[in-house]
Structure 1
């Protein structure tokens, strides 16, 4: 079997595994955020500044996660280009 083909299949497996794990973590984060939102709504004794800080933290986490995913996807793209079949030109 062609080593490049094996490497490409391995890379596809890693990318799929990463995507699935990342999506699962994002679902977990969304659920935790919903629970936190409900808790904040019911926390009458918590100052508004504290609630705003927590909401800002959630927003920052979401943005950072999206940037991380984008960076990983770009890296996978570069590696896929390396293992891509060369384009054959007609002479």
Structure 2
């Protein structure tokens, strides 16, 4: 009946929630990276190697962050494809309604 539409709306809502949360997390990480770069620029104690190491780790984390987002998006796409394969169930095909129809037919014949 409406279950397919309801599940589709639920999955879309969860995907939207994930996308917004992920974007907020990515923004906070990017701001943290910018602040760390400014500290390394201003600090006389930081050497070239520490800047290289920090740059390497930031690039590594950004790449893995995007990979993670891709995996989750792929999962949401698979769920949406799975829901698209199901056809809505009509209310006539329900066993409980068939049983009540048969019972009403028996009582009407008497």
Confirm or deny that 1:22 pairs with 2:22. yes
Structure (1 or 2) with the larger CA radius of gyration: 2
Show structure 1 runs of 5+ residues with no match.
none
Distance in 1, Cα, partners of 2:18 & 2:86: 26
Once the two structures are TM-superposed, the CA of residue 50 in structure 1 deviates from its matched residue by 1.3
- RMSD value over aligned CA atoms? 1.6
Aligned length: 87
CA shift for structure 1 position 86: 6.1
Which consecutive residues of structure 2, in runs of 5 or more, have no partner in the other structure? 88-110
Normalising by the residue count of structure 2, what TM-score does the alignment of the two structures yield?
Answer: 0.74
- In the superposition, the TM-score normalised over structure 1's length comes to 0.88
The structure 1 segments of at least 4 consecutive aligned residues displaced by more than 4 Å after TM superposition are: none
- 8 A Cα contact 2:4 2:86, kept in partner: no
